[in-house]
Structure 1
Amino acid sequence: MQEMVTQAATTAMNMNMTHYMELLATNQPWNLLIFMAIPVILAETLTATEFFVTFGRLHDGPLRQFNKIVGIALGFYFLGIFTYLMTTVVPNIIWRGYSDILAVGSYLSGVVFLFGIALLELGVIAKNKEQDSKMKLHFLLLIGFLVVAHIAMIFGMLNPSLL
């Protein structure tokens, strides 16, 4: 039994993986928490509250305020991740194939959507729009992030030698 566990661990270590997966697998559990768990928990919280805010057309109140705080926190948190990765990790990457580029590129592109939500919540963008237009933009930005995050996860888990 011990031999099977050792063999499985060795196979996993020798398996090709994208930089996306390598980042999450390195420095356990910290990288997984910093780069995946915290952003995903905040994004899922934002998504859950977004449904109630959007479909209830809540322009104020405690749930809308919570939604706003989560959106701002997530946007700035992900901007920090983006800045860190773009200045310390990405310049040193030797790409392992198209899936690697798609995974890392999609993950990093999430900053456009999440920081867009933060700027929207702070009134920096779309400040002259009506509440319903802002709500729609907020929802679209969130959907955009969910799409690129899932693309990053799918291609990030793929063996880069397959593409």
Structure 2
Amino acid sequence: MPMTHYMALLAANQPWNLILFMAIPVILAETVAITELYLLFTRKFGGGVHRLNRLASIAGGVYFSGIFVYLLLTAVVPLTQQGGWLGPADVIAVGFYLAGVIPLGGLALLDLGLIARQHDDEARLRLHATLVAVFLVVAHIAMIFGMLDPTLLMASGHDMAGMQH
């Protein structure tokens, strides 16, 4: 069965690609999600859990920004220029994976104090929790479509060659 570029990336160069492109970002994002729940329930913003939450948010945003730039330049641009996309599922998987940079980057910017400085603590907490939720949604969409046969969503007799820009 053919696989999407998303799954091919994770399967290649074992275990390093899996660690670099999946494990590290997911561990950082799950750390943020778990600590976020604790903070939402306890409202204890001065302790170690809050510091861990901020550290994981900043590290995740910065790290994933590097992944975004790397994959944009080494995969997305060449695949698009060469008409190498394998079908809509392939584009959706890679696109949603890379879209994770928006919420993760937002978390980093928020915790670095570069955005929403004028907001009160409650508003920043709501924004932080929303960005965590958005990341979880886009990451899961990427995983679901990434596990599909990339040709599954293609109309019969059509290929992605027309997607070149």
Percent sequence identity is: 56
1:57-76 deviation line (CA, Å, top 9, x unaligned) = 23322111111011000110
Does the alignment pair 1:29 with 2:15? yes
Q: Greater CA deviation, 150-159 or 83-92?
A: 83-92
Which residue number corresponds to residue 96 of structure 1? 86
TM-score computed with the length of structure 1 as normaliser: 0.89
Does the alignment pair 1:125 with 2:115? yes
Does the alignment pair 1:72 with 2:58? yes
Unmatched 5+ stretches in structure 2: 154-165
Which residue number corresponds to residue 151 of structure 1? 141
Which whole-Å CA distance do the structure 2 matches of 1:87 and 1:55 have between them? 41
Q: Which runs of 4+ in 1 moved over 6 A?
A: none
* Higher helix proportion: 1
The CA deviation at 1:44 is: 1.1
TM-score computed with the length of structure 2 as normaliser: 0.88
The CA deviation at 1:161 is: 1.1
RMSD: 0.8
1:97 corresponds to which letter in structure 2? G
Which whole-Å CA distance do the structure 2 matches of 1:136 and 1:30 have between them? 35
Number of aligned positions between the proteins: 149
Which whole-Å CA distance do the structure 2 matches of 1:67 and 1:16 have between them? 38
